Amino acid sequence: MQRWREIETLSRALSMPADHSIPPSWLLGKNGKPLKSVVFHQLAPQKRYTAATLNTWCPRTALHAVSSTTEEFWRSHAPNAAVKFWRKARHPQRALTIREGSTVSISSRAETSTRLSGSSSVGGEAVHFVRVQTIGTIDGDVYLACLAWREPETEPSVLGQPVVVRRDAAAGVTLVRAERVRRMAFVLPCGNKDFMFSKRSGFNFESG
């Protein structure tokens, strides 16, 4: 915003060179011809977010059709609520964008027994990674249908290195509020293995 204000001030000065003691030679190009005036931008009232809006995930691009299995899963968790499906969701303050197939870390209770990839405790809460299967809203609140990533017991993780993971199909798909999302990660298939790159392994993602 400060840069825009500086450009606006400079533009006004260049539009009245005589009033601001600007030599005419400064306004000539390399070929000796006068520089053209171009409208670079226009200042306008900025949209202001309330504290509640800054902490709310915003769905983007509606999905008009999903599989019957997906719809049944969501309806079973919210039988009497208005359910809509979306291609992605964005957090206005944290600049995070999630889509179907994104890998994110979510907060959970510390007593979670399943050993999940990247599990850790941050500020008294356990955090683990999941793959987003579907994004939806229930009465306007954004929820994610997720499948957990699990770290094989035979291949322990090494700090600063990608983590070998696999989908924890036994745990099944769970429905979580988008507010529980903490960070983004990226899972890259390589041969018969999946490697997870996260902030713990030196990679910080803002979109997935």
How confident is the model at residue 90, as a pLDDT? Answer: 92
Query: How confident is the model at residue 156, as a pLDDT?
Result: 60
Looking at residue 88, its pLDDT comes to 95
Domain count, the chain: 2
Across the chain, the runs of DSSP E, i.e. the strands, are 58-63, 83-91, 96-99, 103-108, 120-122, 125-138, 141-150, 163-167, 173-177, 181-190, 193-197
Tell me how far apart the alpha carbons of residues 167 and 173 are, in angstroms, rounded to a whole number: 11
Is there a single domain that holds both residue 109 and residue 41?
no
CATH number of the domain to which 83 belongs: 2.30.30
Residue 207 lies in a domain: no
Same domain for 94 and 171, yes or no, is yes
208 within a domain of the structure (yes/no): no
* Residue 163 sits in the same domain as residue 88: yes
Please tell me the predicted confidence (pLDDT) of residue 22: 73
Same-domain check for residues 2 and 99: no
197 three-state secondary structure: strand
pTM: 0.63
One domain for residues 69 and 34: no
Which residue from 112, 208, 98, 187 is spatially nearest to 145, judged by alpha carbons? 98
Alpha-carbon gap, residue 130 to 37, rounded angstroms = 52
Closest CA to 104 of 205, 183, 204: 183
CB 160 within 8 A of CB 67: no
- Tell me, yes or no, whether 96 and 191 share the same domain: yes
pLDDT in tens, the chain (208 residues): 555 566 666 666 667 777 767 777 777 777 777 766 655 555 555 555 554 455 689 999 998 889 999 999 999 999 999 999 999 999 888 778 999 999 999 987 543 333 344 445 444 567 889 999 999 999 999 999 999 998 877 666 666 678 889 988 888 899 999 999 988 888 988 888 898 888 766 666 555 4
Range of the domain at 184: 56-201
* Strand 125-138 relative to strand 120-122, pairing: antiparallel
Note whether 134 and 34 are same-domain residues: no
Residue 83: the pLDDT is 94
